[in-house]
Amino acid sequence: MSIITNINKLFDHRIRLGIMSVLMVNEYADFNMLKELLGATDGNLASHTKALEKGEYIKVEKQFIGRKPNTRYSTTKLGRAAFKKHIEALESIINKQK
Amino acid sequence: MSIITNINKLFDHRIRLGIMSVLMVNEYADFNMLKELLGATDGNLASHTKALEKGEYIKVEKQFIGRKPNTRYSTTKLGRAAFKKHIEALESIINKQK
DNA sequence: TAAAGTACTTTGAAATTCAAAGTATAATGA
DNA sequence: TCATTATACTTTGAATTTCAAAGTACTTTA
């Protein structure tokens, strides 16, 4: 049980951390919203959302808004639980600094 | 200026986060101490310390203790400043969750 | 003095990251 | 109306990073 035991590999990247962080406080976020909020390129964002999707931490819904495709993301129960644990692990590391 | 702007790429990995975290609260840590605290393999730890060293965030001193080689690590001023900034960025993400 | 242990370092395969290019459709403008 | 530009992603593959196994150079132990 080391100090980094509860750091989740899947959240251990700034873009994925950002995606989760946005999705924890917003019920949904679409591709462009995430792209803008995180300053990621299209391809980069797509691969990170795919990684989180594969881990079943986020859910993807594709729809059309008017005639435009729109992809929106939301967290899963599993994702929310995992993220909370990750945040707690970070907090515990941070508190050691104080 | 996105929510992940101040997340430092070099600290954005659990092992390097762990190394810095240990070195922030201990003046020195040697190879084995870090290895044990972080549960890293030798090769893995070596490459992460090398990355932090290259970024001039930690300093490496090699000496002999008795007849055994001993490598000890400590933070640099630059490293401490960068890590503080990183921790503040994490805190700000965490606080958004509350 | 052979075998096992210590303290790393090197190596290279595997996994990950990333942006450029691609796809498909929609909107715009001439 | 038809070419051009824009939108919303996806695919691709080169570059980088991660990782553990194997290697090196001793030292300790039996």
This model's pTM is above 0.85: yes
Q: pLDDT for A56-89, tens place per residue?
A: 999 999 988 877 889 999 999 999 999 999 999 9
pLDDT computed for residue B1 by the predictor = 75
Mean pLDDT of chain B: 93
With a 7 Å cutoff on the CB, does A96 touch strand D?
no
B chain contacts of residue A39, beta-carbon cutoff 8 Å: 2, 4-5
Interchain contact, B4 vs A38, CB within 8 Å: yes
Q: Is B56 within the bounds of a domain?
A: yes
Interchain contact, A14 vs B25, CB within 8 Å: no
pLDDT computed for residue A69 by the predictor = 86
Would the pLDDT of B98 be above 90? no
Q: pLDDT for A1-58, tens place per residue?
A: 788 999 999 999 999 999 999 999 999 999 999 999 999 999 999 999 999 999 999 9
pLDDT computed for residue B85 by the predictor = 95
Show the domain range for B25: 9-88
**B59 and B76 Cβ atoms separated by less than 8 Å:** yes
Mutation to test the A interface, candidates B1, B2, B83, most A Cβ within 10 Å: B2
Give the single-character DSSP code of A11.
Answer: G
With a 7 Å cutoff on the CB, does B63 touch strand D?
no
CATH number, position A31 = 1.10.10.10
Q: Is B3 within the bounds of a domain?
A: no
Q: Any idea which residue has 């050691």 for tokens?
A: A96
- Gap from B68 CA to D24 C1', Å: 15
Question: H or E stretch including B75?
Answer: strand B68-75
Domain count, chain B: 1
Q: pLDDT for B45-96, tens place per residue?
A: 999 999 999 999 999 999 998 888 899 999 999 999 999 999 999 999 988 8
Q: Is B43 within the bounds of a domain?
A: yes
- Gap from A69 CA to C27 C1', Å: 14
